[in-house]
Structure 1
Amino acid sequence: MLNSNYLWIAIMCVATLVIMLMIMPGLIDYLHKIKFGQTEREEGLASHKKKNGTPTMGGLAFIIVPTLVYIVCSFFTPFKLDMNAGIILLAFVGYGVVGFIDDYIIVVQKNNEGLKPKYKYLLQSILAVVFFLLYCRNSTTNIWIPLFDVTIDLKWFYFILVYFMFTAETNAVNLTDGLDGLCAGQMVIALIPFAIFAFIQGLDNVACLILIVIFALLGYLKFNKHPAKIFMGDTGSLALGGFIAAVAMVLKQEILLILIGFVFVAEVCSVIIQVTYYKKTHKRIFKMAPLHHHFEMCGWSEEKVVSRFRLVGVILAVLGLVLGVM
């Protein structure tokens, strides 16, 4: 039975990758045709101005394809759409919808303001509450502390943790999506330890879902690597943030999410630090935030920033995996 599960996972992953590689060129052409292109910020880097007009909303592909593959295959494979998989998919699609609304406004109005921050945050918050209520109907409010191997029941404080996980992670992933291949590549690296955790916990359906999303991202990366032919937009980045937050919650690896996804954490912290410090002193700590732009301003090429961030991501993922299986 175990070998059969692995075979089905391999088939679903390959199918997802092949579908992505087949549909992406057509999606890029269609987005070009309807002029759904990126609009770079006026205050952004000069080197990024050439990206104006590059199709965005590419996240639609790596949301829809793995979601449909999993749901369709759930009817005839061992991987059923249970509560755990359902919550993860709802977070994936739900936050993707919020991102789509934001992208649509940006594309139609041809500016980068998009959905007003207060409305975006409100929608993110509502989804976080919904997922907390759904999850706690069939699970505990315990968290596991790695290294010390201690389990603590947070009771209603668990809601604060989950709320912060979803709202912070979606915004952190969103801010990381600023260079060709950066966000998708980091997400692939970060999701691998969680797939292993799922297998160890016997949650093969969750592991399967994580893996097909990874393969969808690999298909997307072929077209998003430098120079990118398409961007994921907020549609993709918010969806990925919701996805990894839901995965961490379901697998009870909330603490390790911080370590494994620390590249995302560093990106959002750089923005918070920059804005807070500037308001108080009218000076900047970083040459530009988020953090990846700081390194570009220091003279690093886009490819160098992405490769160095990926190296850090791999180190953190390995460290998180080791702590998670100790």
Structure 2
Amino acid sequence: MDYPSKRRVNKRPVPRMGGVAMALGIAAALLVEVAGEALFGWAGFYVEGSGTVNHAGVMCGLLTIVCVGAMDDVYSLKPGMKLAGQVLGAAIIAASGLLLSSIANPIGRGFIEFGWAAYPLTVLYLVCFMNVINLIDGLDGLAAGIAAIASFFLFLIAFGRGMEETAMLSIILLGATLAFLRYNFAPASIFMGDSGSLLLGAMIGVISLMGVMRSPTVIVLAVPLVIAAIPIADTAAAIVRRLYHHQPIQQADRKHLHHMLLRKGYGVRKSVVIVYAWTTLLGIGAWVISSTHGLAVWGMILVLLVGSFLILWKLGIFDQVLRHHYHGRHTRREDKPTWYGKHGR
């Protein structure tokens, strides 16, 4: 149960094992796919296999991540133990062949091969996505809605590029998040907990990696990063903020994006809808990027990232770091004694 506290928005105890429900929904869809391939000859992926990816291993990695999150929801694991569980789940996925092994050279011909570094890069990539979604999960329906929007645009992009496997996983994730939002949108009757937020982050990471493996271009890698720009920026700001104040990175606070929106007086529902709209615009931008070539791609990415940064700045997400530093210097400059301050006018 998630009990009310100073950091919580909920005013009453709410169950927080919704991540298990989403995991079961995703598992049910995958079982239907496997059964259809085995019994009815559906053209598919999980029975025949595709490339070097062991799909059963990927699912075992996702299951490990869900179990770690569920244990944290029940027993409140120590940060180090929780991180170790995330790394274990990501390592199982990487060992199953789903790797960020190469990327097209953005400034020349050929590919950049990562070699043995592909394994730690993949683990780092997946763990970062898990924690990005975990940290944004602070309001009813926020994380699930962001994941739903992200999976919808990932589906459109994958379908348009003929990445059937990536498109299928995207639409499965969309179905699970939309079904969960029925009970999670404010006022929520159930929370996803860490089992849900870690699962959603891992799923988005897995889907994007499958896309990169099928089409190892910078654009395919950039698309999920652009769509998830809001939680990524919020997480980056939180890390910098806590390091600046000499606080542990894992220490919770009330200075995230959704907290800023609440302080602006928007309320829970309006705050969530604002982030939904913002994520949708980023998704549209990512969709445009996926069908654009040359310098226009980098121009669009730059516009989206700069625009998002300016919105975050306006909302005050960087107040505790950049503005504090600026005002500190400005104040020291103003406090410096002038000639007439010493001797009178």
TM-score by length of 1: 0.75
Cα offset for 1:88?
4.9
Q: For structure 1, which runs of at least 5 residues remain unmatched after alignment?
A: 1-36, 106-113, 281-286
Letter of the structure 2 residue corresponding to residue 133 of structure 1: A
Residue equivalent to 2:66: 96
Query: Aligned in 2, Cα 1:177/1:150: closer, same or farther, shift over 3 Å?
Result: farther
Instruction: Give the secondary-structure state (helix, strand or coil) at the position aligned to 1:143.
Output: strand
Which moves more between the two structures, 76-85 or 306-315? 76-85
Residue equivalent to 2:186: 226
Q: For structure 2, which runs of at least 5 residues remain unmatched after alignment?
A: 37-41, 213-219, 248-252, 293-345
Query: Aligned in 2, Cα 1:57/1:140: closer, same or farther, shift over 3 Å?
Result: closer
Q: Are residues 1:308 and 2:274 paired? A: yes
Structure of higher CA gyration radius: 2
Deviations along 1:69-119, one digit per CA (max 9) or x if unpaired, are 2223322233331336545534432211111111121xxxxxxxx110000
Residue equivalent to 1:44: 7
Q: Are residues 1:279 and 2:240 paired? A: no
Instruction: Give the secondary-structure state (helix, strand or coil) at the position aligned to 2:35.
Output: coil
Letter of the structure 2 residue corresponding to residue 134 of structure 1: S
Letter of the structure 2 residue corresponding to residue 93 of structure 1: L
For residues 101-116 of structure 1, the aligned pairs below 5 Å read 101-105=71-75, 114-116=76-78
Residue equivalent to 2:287: 321
Query: Aligned in 2, Cα 1:197/1:88: closer, same or farther, shift over 3 Å?
Result: farther
Instruction: Give the secondary-structure state (helix, strand or coil) at the position aligned to 2:238.
Output: helix
Query: Aligned in 2, Cα 1:202/1:85: closer, same or farther, shift over 3 Å?
Result: farther
Taking the aligned partners of 1:199 and 1:173, their CA distance within structure 2 comes to 24
Taking the aligned partners of 2:108 and 2:68, their CA distance within structure 1 comes to 38
Match of 2:203 among 218, 243, 262: 243
Deviations along 1:24-63, one digit per CA (max 9) or x if unpaired, are xxxxxxxxxxxxx2124x4315xx250x311111111111
- State the percentage of identical aligned residues: 26
Residue equivalent to 1:152: 112
For residues 123-202 of structure 1, the aligned pairs below 5 Å read 123-135=85-97, 141-144=101-104, 151-202=111-162
Instruction: Give the secondary-structure state (helix, strand or coil) at the position aligned to 1:168.
Output: helix
Alpha carbons 2:136, 2:231 under 8 Å: kept? yes
Residue equivalent to 2:230: 263
TM-score by length of 2: 0.71
Q: Supply the RMSD in Å over aligned alpha carbons.
A: 2.5
Cα offset for 1:151?
4.2
Cα offset for 1:228?
0.7
Residue equivalent to 2:28: 68
Alpha carbons 2:100, 2:209 under 8 Å: kept? no
Q: Are residues 1:118 and 2:83 paired? A: no
Query: Aligned in 2, Cα 1:38/1:73: closer, same or farther, shift over 3 Å?
Result: same
Cα offset for 1:175?
1.0
Taking the aligned partners of 1:164 and 1:277, their CA distance within structure 2 comes to 23
Instruction: Give the secondary-structure state (helix, strand or coil) at the position aligned to 2:186.
Output: coil
Matched residue count: 270
Cα offset for 1:298?
2.9
Query: Aligned in 2, Cα 1:148/1:93: closer, same or farther, shift over 3 Å?
Result: farther
Cα offset for 1:204?
2.0
Q: Are residues 1:206 and 2:172 paired? A: no
Cα offset for 1:158?
3.0
Taking the aligned partners of 1:62 and 1:39, their CA distance within structure 2 comes to 22
Of the two structures, which has the highest relative contact order with CA contacts closer than 8 Å and spacing of 6 or more? Answer: 1
